[in-house]
Amino acid sequence: MTRALTIRNLRKTYANGFEALKGIDLEVEQGAFVALLGPNGAGKSTTIGIINSLVNKTSGRVEVFGMDIDRQRAQAKSCLGLVPQEFNFNIFEPVEEIVINQAGYYGIPRREAVARAAVALKRLGLWEKRRGAARELSGGMKRRLMIARALVHQPRLLILDEPTAGVDIEIRRSMWEFMTEVNRSGTTIILTTHYLEEAESLCERVAIINKGRIVEQGLVSELIGKLDMETFIFNVRDPLTEAPVLGNHVVRLLDSRTLEVEISRQRPLNELFERMTALGIQVLSMRNKANRLEELFLHLVNDSR
Amino acid sequence: MNSRVALTTIVLREVLRFLRIWLQTLLPPVVVTSLYFIIFGNLIGPRIGSMAGYGYNEFIMPGLVMMAVITNSYSNVVSSFYSAKFHRSIEEMLVSPMPNYIILLGYTLGGVARGLMVGLLVMGVALFFTELRVEHPWVTVSIVLLTAALFSIGGFINAIFARSFDDISIVPTFVLTPLTYLGGVFYSIDMLSPLWRQLSLANPILYMVNGFRYGILGTADIGIGTAIGLIMALLVLLFLLALWLLEKGTGIRS
C-alpha cells in the first residue's frame, strides 16, 4: 500500500545560512497517528511547511500518497489538511466565510461548501459563532476554527502543528477525542506537540527531530522499551538531612522529605525498597518524575547536543 | 480541482471585503471627486474657459473617473494582498491545490470590480456637474477595464515586495498620484512647452486618461491605437512578472 507520506533526504538552508533540515528521512503509513516531536527550533515547522508548500526546500524529495510535491503539486495538495501553529486567518472575516472560502480554494462548489462548513462547525462547537468575525473567538475557539477549516475538503492526511497549545485541559481533552475520531475514520494524522503525554496517549508511532535530524522514530511502545533508566520521586515520612546512599543508584535530595532516584529498568524495585528499609526510610508515596516518552525525549535530545 | 470555483471564491471574497468596508473604499472617492468638480469645475473652471473645445467640467470628467479607477484598483489589491500576508491568511490559498495564476487572476478581478464600481459612482457624481455622452462606448469600456486590470496587477506586485504597511503607501503617494496629476487629467498637453510635452509622453497614465477621454468625448492628445497597445503591452508584462514572482514565492515563501 502506498505510504501517506515519504520524505527522503530533505534539506533546508534559509537565506541567512541557517541549516534547518540536514537530510530528513521519514515514512508515515496510511491510517497512522504519528507524533513529530522535537524541541523549539528542531525543524518540525520547517518540515511541515515544506510538505504543505509554504516553505521552499533546498533539496530532497517529498511524496504524499505517492505523489511528488514538485511534479504533482496540485494532486498532492488536495490530499493534505494543515492546522498551523499560529493563527493564520483574516480575523475580520466571519467564521463561516473562512471555512466556506477554504473549501472554494479546493474547488468545492459553494452550495456543497456551505453544507460541509456547517458540518465541520457543528462538530467543533462553533456553529453558534458562525456569523461573528473570527477576532471575536476565544483562543481555543480559534484553534478549533483552524481544525474545521483544515477538514472541510476532507483531507487524507491531516497535519496538526501544536493544535492544543494554550488551550485549557477540558478543551484539550475534547480535542484529543476529536482527533482520535478523525483518525479512526481513516484519516492519517501527523501531530506535533510539546505535551508528551498527549503524544503518548494519542499516537502509536513517534519521530523525534533535533537540530534538523530525525534522531529516533518507531512505535512508541518500542521506543519506550529502549529506555534503560527511569527516574522516580519518593516522598518519605521522616525528614532527611542528606541524600542516603542506596547502592549504586543516583540519589538526589530535593527537599528534606523528597528523594529523586534514577533506577535501571533492568533491576527490580524490591532491591531499592530493601535498602531504604535497612536505612529506616519509610516511603509514603512514589511516582515517575516524567512520563516515559518525556524521559526518552529528553534523553535523545540531550544526547544529540 | 475546479479552478473556476476557486476563482469565483477569491473574487467574491474580494468584492464582499470592499463592500463590507464601503466607508473606507467607496465613499472617499465620491467625496474627493465632488470636491474636484466643485473647486476646479465650478469655481476655477469658468475662469479657464474651454479646453480642447469643451467646457472645463466636461474636459476633466474622464480624467477624474480614470484617476479614481486607477487609485482604487491599485489600492484594493495592494491592501488586500498585503493584509493576507500580514495575517498569514495567504497560507489558506498557498496550501490549496489552486494554481498561482488563479490567485493572481482572482485578486486582479477583485481590483477591477472595485475600480469599476468606484468609476461608476464617480460618473454618477459627474452627472450633477456636466452632461454625459459616450462617443465610443467600446473604447471607453476597453480602456477602463484594461487600466483597472493593469493597476490591480501593479498593486499585487507592490504587495508581494511590501514588508510593512508603510511600503504599500509609498508607490501610490510618490509615484501614482504625481503621474496621475501630470497625466493630463486637468489640462491638455498641447498647452505645454515642447520639452514638457515630450516628457509627458513618457508618462503611461497620460495614455490611459486620454484613451478614456477619447472614448467619452471623442478627442485626445494621443492616438487611441497607441494608448490601447501600450496598456495591453504593460498588462501582459506585469501579469507575467507577477506570475513569475508568485511561482518563485517571492515575499510569501521562505
Non-local (6+) Cβ contacts of A202 within 8 A are: A33, A35, A176, A179, A180, A191
Cell of A269: 524495585
- Sequence length of chain A is 305
Give me chain A's average pLDDT, please: 88
The more confidently predicted of residues A200 and A100 is A100
CATH fold of A5-224:
Rossmann fold (3.40.50)
pLDDT of B120: 95
Query: What CA–CA distance (Å, rounded) separates B85 from A55?
Result: 14
CB distance from A268 to chain B under 8 Å? no
Question: Residues 68-127, chain B: which have Cβ within 8 Å of A?
Answer: 83-84, 87-89, 91-99
The string of pLDDT tens digits covering residues A125-139 is: 899 999 999 999 988
Query: What CA–CA distance (Å, rounded) separates A120 from A109?
Result: 16
* CA A25 remoteness from chain centre: 18
Query: What CA–CA distance (Å, rounded) separates B215 from B201?
Result: 19
* CA B42 remoteness from chain centre: 25
Cell of B84: 493576507
Query: What CA–CA distance (Å, rounded) separates A254 from A260?
Result: 7
DSSP state of B189: G
pLDDT of A291: 63
pLDDT band at A231 (very low <50, low <70, confident <90, very high): confident
Q: Is the pTM of this model over 0.90?
A: no
User: In this complex, do A101 and B88 lie within 8 Å of one another by their Cβ atoms?
Assistant: no
The string of pLDDT tens digits covering residues B84-138 is: 999 899 999 999 999 999 999 999 999 999 999 999 999 999 888 888 888 999 9
CATH 3.40.50.300 range(s) for chain A read 5-224
pLDDT of B189: 84
- Contact in structure between A9 and A23 (CB atoms under 8 Å): yes
CB distance from B19 to chain A under 8 Å? no
Query: What CA–CA distance (Å, rounded) separates B5 from A110?
Result: 8
Chain B contact set for A56 (CB, 8 A): 249, 253-254
User: In this complex, do B87 and A49 lie within 8 Å of one another by their Cβ atoms?
Assistant: no
Q: What is the pLDDT averaged over residues A44-60? A: 94
pLDDT band at B44 (very low <50, low <70, confident <90, very high): confident
| CA geometry: angle A65, A33, A208, nearest 5 deg | 95
The more confidently predicted of residues A225 and A189 is A189
pLDDT(A69) > 80:
yes
Cross-chain CB nearest to A84 (options B87, B91, B99): B91
Lowest mean pLDDT among A233-247, B99-113, B152-166: A233-247
Please name which of A58, A55, A81, A77 lies closest in space to residue A67, comparing C-alpha atoms. Answer: A77
Chain A contact set for B9 (CB, 8 A): 101, 104-105, 110
Query: What CA–CA distance (Å, rounded) separates A231 from A289?
Result: 6
pLDDT(B19) > 80:
yes
CATH 3.30.70.1560 range(s) for chain A read 228-303
What is A228-303's CATH number? 3.30.70.1560
